[in-house]
Amino acid sequence: MDPKVEKYYLKLKILELLLLIRMVTPEEEKAQKKYFRQQDYDKVRAIYQEVIAHPDKRFSISELVLKYGIGQTTFQSCFNEIYGKPYYTFVKHYKMHKAIHYIEETEYSIAEIAGMLGYDNASKFASAFRSVVGCSPREYRKSSERMEHLPLFGVEIQ
DSSP code string of 84-129: SS-HHHHHHHHHHHHHHHHHHH----HHHHHHHTT-SSHHHHHHHH
Domain check: are 105 and 72 in the same one? no
Who contacts 11 (Cβ-Cβ below 8 Å, separation ≥6)?
none
In the chain, at which residue ranges do the beta strands (DSSP E only) sit? none
**13 occurs within a structural domain:** no
**Structural domain range at position 66:** 38-84
Taking 70 as the pLDDT cut, the residues of the chain under it are 25-33, 144-158
- pTM for the structure as a whole: 0.71
**31 occurs within a structural domain:** no
Domain check: are 65 and 105 in the same one? no
**32 occurs within a structural domain:** no
Q: What is the pLDDT of residue 127?
A: 95
Q: What is the pLDDT of residue 155?
A: 58
Q: What is the pLDDT of residue 91?
A: 96
Q: What is the pLDDT of residue 150?
A: 43
